[in-house]
Structure 1
Amino acid sequence: MLSISRACFYLSTIFSIISFQSVFSQGLPPGEIDAAIASMAQSIDTAYVFPEKGQKIAAYLRSEHKRGSFSNAKNWKDLAAAISKSLQQFSQDGHLYVRNDPQTVKELQSPPQDQPDSTPQKVAFNPFFDGKDVVERNFGFREVKVLEGNMGYIKISEINISVKSLPILFAAMRLVANSKALIIDLRNNGGGGSNVGSVLESFFLPAQTPLLDFKTRNGSSHMEKTVDWLLEPRYEKPLFILVNQGTASAAEAFAFALQKHRRAKVVGRRSAGGAFMNSWYPVNEHLFISVSTGAPTLPGTNQSWEGDGIQPDYPVAEGAELTTVAGLLK
């Protein structure tokens, strides 16, 4: 027979488990979801590159929330995933998403104060360029080598050009400097960007070459050009860029600009078609939202790759890209 004290202990434990399960099953507090949705809608409404479209997206998000589309989220990760899927289906904008990332939120709200001021131009803290895990990713540089036939090869998994990554970029380009042709592999590269200008493009085009004209919601525009401070020698020999359906955003921008300037041949499959430039805004201590804040076009035109992707000069099946380039060089 159980003692009274032991029986009380077991009953207390059972009630605690039941209570915990009950609380857990209730999911997120409705009031916190309300506040998060309101913050997201406000960011979209005030920052989206096309004001009219931004207002429609914000109104859609509020209406979806009102009819309970997100009320079953059990945690912040689930809520972020549900909202991202809903927003992208409605807007067809891959740069519009929500992430559950408390560390990035913390960095967005209170950027570290010990960032070195040694850049060619002073830049603000950005978690993508300055976050703690950027070094572990080696700034996106995955492979650098010279293939058979003296073909240079650089595999880049993300575009992450900053003062910290410039030495790696320079070293990579020096290793392939004597190759007879260069392959830059951007397959499954989801993009990123540069906070020190268009340095990668500057290895292949003259200084101050206009690349993209970024238009903002207030009607202003910013012309992105190759930099004029690069002292490294330009690579003058044939250039091939590999792309596929996983190539997006800044990776597409590089391929688009070099293809339009007839400086590179693009090989592979049509890319993702995500042209917009995005900015991150904290929602609460758990979430941040990415909003499209700039729309790039080829200078002097309305040409962009948004929705259409980069069309390869040489469409080939996945896995046949390197063989195709080798054949072209012969």
Structure 2
Amino acid sequence: MKALVYLLLLATPALAQDFGKNEKSRIIDSISQKLKTLYVYPEVAEKMSKQLYTNAGNGQYANIKDPVAFADRLTTDLLAVSHDKHLRVYFDPRPIEKHPVMENNPDIARAKNFGFKEVKILDGNTGYLNLSYFEDPAIGGATAATAMNFLSNADAVIIDLRNNGGGSTDMVQLLASYFFEGEPQPLTDIYWRPTNHLTQYKTLPYVPGKKMPRVEVYLLTSQQTFSAAEDFSYSLQNLKRVTIVGETTGGGAHPIEQAEASDHFFITIPEGRSISTITKTDWEGTGVKPDVLVAAKDALLTAQLKVLSKAPADNMPAQWALMAIKAKLNPVTIAPDSLKSYTGTYGGRMISLENGQLYYSKVGGPKTRLIPMENDLFSMEDKDYLRIRFVRKNGEITGFTRLFEDGAAETSLKDVL
């Protein structure tokens, strides 16, 4: 699925004044012909064409003076018939051939790091990739290989597609191939109406670097996850290779091409449709349903929770990270009166209360805010390696233990006044 990104500008006043009935008729004629020739479902194309001519005949476009508004109205009328989220009419005051197209434009793609927005290792040795779109491997393949090899030593991988609007099916194929070995596995095929041809996609037998066939993979989705990002999710979900966490995706399964309707109008036309070898269908209009349904904002923490919950009890880094994730998903609130009970001097260290917040410090030193994780257990802001657990005897706080990520612990008794 090809990524088409255009810089769309407002109409100039002069062009808007020249925009009349004859020009509208030529645009409708052009769009109608291209839909009948290219749109993936011929019968739907006929209905869309008829609707445009009916609306024009009824004078529904007569009072539209702004070309941008005209393009938007045509889009609305086409979607009312097709419900195809990839279909859209655009206007640009510049000649069509001067559009700065992102597809296969190395300079624009490089500025976006070919879609690889963030790659890192989260606590507990979980790999994380934030992928903003799927670039063509012809220009983004080297960056893809670097990113995937960076993740190759992780115990699990989380791929964040929550803000991914689609892109290249070839990149879908390349990234999917890192998670399989042996015989090529079927991905989503594409039927192209203009050529009556079926393009079949399977995982590649070779990828640059190390494959991860046994690493757990989690995909994060939202309602904004669309097109090729849905293809990636749908294909790997059907192969039972991933766990999808988040929201049902946008529901756009038809790959598109740009068609010129005039010197200043163009239309993105879905010329093909995706077909799963496994389900014999696609996600058009329905979206890809997650395995774990949660709000998009909670998807990353939920996936981390699932990953870390499977870690052995003696895996200290994973257990340490797991406690933090649980605290973030279920924040603890401690009443102000209870917070006062923690204050005092503990040897050479102090716990103070300011504006409803507890702070830790060495006597006379800088203060660090304490964040409640559970009753009597606090994390330290900006010190992920250290936590404070208060000790009680007969309900009264008698000291605290400083807990370190490596398992070490140091206890300080509360000074008695």
Both structures adopt the same fold (TM-score exceeding 0.5): yes
**Cα distance change, pair 27–202 in 1 and its aligned pair in 2 (3 A):** same
Deviation string 1:167-194 (CA, Å, 9 cap, x unpaired) is 2111211222211111111113111224
Residue identity (%): 31
Q: In the TM superposition, what is the alpha-carbon distance from 1:134 to its structure 2 partner?
A: 2.8
Given the alignment of the two structures, is residue 232 of structure 1 paired with residue 223 of structure 2, yes or no? Answer: no
Greater percentage in strand: 2
1:154 maps to 2:136: no
Counterpart secondary structure, 1:320: helix
Deviation at 1:210, TM superposition (A): 1.6
Are 2:178 and 1:178 aligned?
A: no
Residue among 7, 27, 30 paired with 2:21: 30
Structure having greater relative contact order (Cα 8 Å, sep ≥ 6)? 1
Q: Which amino acid aligns with 2:191?
A: K
Structure-2 change in CA distance of 1:106 and 1:140 (3 Å): same
C-alpha RMSD of matched pairs (Å): 2.6
Gaps of 5+ in 1: 1-19, 112-125
Deviation at 1:93, TM superposition (A): 0.5
The range that moved more, 132-141 or 56-65, is 132-141
Residue type of the alignment partner of 1:318: A
Instruction: Name which of 238, 250, 256 aligns with 1:260.
Output: 238
Paired residues in the alignment total 294
Report if the CA contact (8 A) 1:98-1:290 is conserved: yes
- 1:290-327 superposed Cα distances (whole Å, 9 cap, x missing partner): 11111112115432111111111111123111221122
* Mapped partners of 1:283, 1:101: distance in 2: 12
Q: What are the within-5 Å matches in structure 2 for residues 53-202 of structure 1?
A: 53-101=44-92, 105-106=96-97, 127-130=102-105, 133-194=108-169, 198-202=173-177
- Structure with higher Rg: it is 2
Residue 140 (structure 1) shift: 2.1
Residues 266 and 68 (structure 1), Cα distance of their counterparts in 2 relative to 1, 3 Å cut: same
Is the partner of 1:44 in helix, strand or coil? helix
1:95-133 Cα shifts (integer Å, max 9, x gaps): 11112246793168xx9xxxxxxxxxxxxxx75232753
Superposition TM-score, scaled by structure 2 size: 0.65
Could you tell me which residue of structure 1 aligns to residue 190 of structure 2? 214
TM-score normalised to structure 1 length: 0.81
Separation (CA, whole Å) in 1 of partners of 2:129 and 2:95: 29
- Label 1:193 to 1:70 Cα distance change in 2 as closer, same or farther (>3 A): farther
- Give distance in 2, aligned partners of 1:179 and 1:298: 30
Q: Deviations over 1:268-293 (max 9, x none)?
A: 01111111111111122222211111
Query: Shift of the alpha carbon at 1:162?
Result: 2.8
The corresponding residue for 1:12 is: none
Q: Is the 8 A contact 1:203 1:233 kept in 2?
A: yes
CA, structure 1 residues 103+228, in 2 after alignment: closer, same or farther (shift >3 Å)? farther
Q: Is the 8 A contact 2:172 2:228 kept in 1?
A: no
Name the one with the larger helix percent: 1
How far apart in 2 are the matches of 1:285 and 1:96?
Answer: 19
Aligned to 1:123: none
**Partner amino acid, structure 1, of 2:186:** P
Match of 1:285 among 263, 267, 271: 263
Post-superposition offset of 1:43? 0.9
Is the Cα–Cα contact under 8 Å of residues 249 and 287 in structure 2 kept in the other structure?
yes
> In the alignment, is the contact (CA less than 8 A) between 2:189 and 2:276 conserved in 1?
yes
Matched position secondary structure for 1:35: helix
Alignment deviations for residues 185-207 of structure 1 (CA, whole Å, 9 cap, x no partner): 11131112245772121111346
Q: Secondary structure at the match of 1:280?
A: strand
Secondary structure at 1:192's aligned position in 2? coil
> Which has the higher mean CA deviation after the structures are superposed, 258-267 or 143-152?
143-152
Structure 2, unmatched stretches of 5+, are 1-11, 310-417
